Amino acid sequence: MSYVRGLYPPAHCSPPFGNCSVGNADIEPLIVVHNMLLAHGKAVKLYRERFQSKQGGSIGLVVQSHMYEPLRDVESDRQAVNRALAFTGGWVLDPLVFGDYPPEMRQYHRSELPRFSSEETEYMKGSIDFIGLNHYSTLYAKDCIHSPCVLGGDHFIRGFTFTTGERDGTLIGEPTGVERFYVVPRGMEKIVDHVSKRYNNMPIYVTENGYCPPLTEAAPNLLHDVNRVHFYNGYLAALARAIRKGADVRGYFAWSLMDNFEWAGGYSSTFGLYYVDRLTMNRTPKLSAKWFQHFLANRSSARFNRQRSVNPTPKSRRVRKSKYIVIATTNANATDV
């Protein structure tokens, strides 16, 4: 957003990604991420040497990543999926776990991609205790090495991969109020499974996951947010499947508790479980807030006004895959929702 598309400060970019007065979208992001990683590695080294023995703290780093699926049923698009994952989360996580950038990046970037010195590699490798994962959606990936592409997919900063939410005129999932954030619950299971396998089942925290309704949605629907309930139900069920398969997921954070200031989207993007009246600042729980309360209490029914028991019913079962987290799977019918 800052060095490829130039939409956030310092607004650096270059065609075809944007029209800025300064910037090189193919090179500058590589330098920026490299410096950020070095700063992280030095901070972790300092903490572990001087403070961790007394404080017992742990340090992780959060990455934002879509999941990707092949646009076409061909091997080149399956390889494009691997590159898309490497050029997003892998770009940041591989150096912190293995000490160097993903081989998928080294293969194509060569001299442009910065290198770590032997000393830097030593303190970079293993410099996270857990992985934070922000995940919202899934996109299709198309190979741009052997096929023509548009919108920058043929640039190495994009991994020679074109990503889209549409195939043959059909969207990959229901659209939301954020561009390219389609509702694709299966992607949660896939991305957690991918991160778990690539990084030796390192502990994972899902640090952001949530739903923003289309910006045209009327105010009453913002409170009766059935689509957000469906979103959380679907994505949490997918997360539970990943845990059952062995992923060491330690926690999950819904984005967000209340409607808030969403970067360049301001107050128009409403991710909250609570509606905020910007004139009075009153906070009103939406339907999803009540659903989430019952979910956390392991209640199987969404009949909020009648259901008071916190005991599991035959419709619900508790899945204990880790001593750190309990996921309740519910089978509420459509009438309940």
pLDDT confidence of residue 65: 96
Pick 337 or 113 by higher pLDDT. Answer: 113
Average pLDDT score over residue span 107-120: 90
Instruction: Tell how strand 166-167 and strand 170-171 pair up.
Output: antiparallel
pLDDT(299) > 80: no
Average pLDDT score over residue span 249-275: 93
Q: Could you tell me the domains of the chain?
A: 27-297 (3.20.20.80)
Secondary structure of residue 175 in the 3-state scheme? coil
**Helix locations, 86-214, DSSP H:** 91-98, 103-109, 118-124, 186-198
pLDDT confidence of residue 49: 97
pLDDT confidence of residue 312: 37
**DSSP code string of 66-96:** -EEEESSSSHHHHHHHHHHHIIIIIHHHHHH
pLDDT(335) > 80: no
Closest CA to 233 of 132, 334, 131: 334
For residue 174, what is the DSSP state?
Answer: B
pLDDT confidence of residue 112: 87
pLDDT confidence of residue 287: 97
Do the Cβ atoms of 221 and 294 come closer than 8 Å?
Answer: no
Residue 219's pLDDT band (cuts 50, 70, 90) = low
pLDDT(89) > 90: yes
pLDDT(316) > 70: no
Q: Would you state the structure tokens that stand for residue 250, as one six-digit string?
A: 């330690």
* Cα–Cα dist 211/227, whole Å: 8
* Cα–Cα dist 329/334, whole Å: 15
Residue 263's pLDDT band (cuts 50, 70, 90) = confident
pLDDT confidence of residue 150: 81
* Cα–Cα dist 230/287, whole Å: 11
Q: Among 90-99, 141-150, 228-237, which is the least confidently predicted range?
A: 141-150
pLDDT confidence of residue 298: 85
Total count of residues recorded for the chain? 337
pLDDT(151) > 80: no
Mean pLDDT for the chain? Answer: 89
Pick 314 or 158 by higher pLDDT. Answer: 158
Closest CA to 131 of 45, 35, 67, 201: 201
Taking each helix axis as running N to C, give the angle between helix 226-244 and helix 186-198, from 0 to 180 degrees, rounded to the nearest 10. Answer: 30
pLDDT confidence of residue 215: 84
| Single-letter code of the amino acid located at 180 | R
pLDDT confidence of residue 238: 98
**DSSP code string of 268-286:** S----SEEE-TTT--EEE-
pLDDT confidence of residue 226: 95
Q: Among 18-22, 147-151, 293-297, which is the least confidently predicted range?
A: 147-151
For residue 337, what is the DSSP state?
Answer: -
Residues annotated as catalytic (active site), given as ranges: 208
Pick 38 or 321 by higher pLDDT. Answer: 38
Closest CA to 158 of 68, 70, 84: 84
pLDDT(324) > 80: no
pLDDT(326) > 60: no
pLDDT(172) > 50: yes
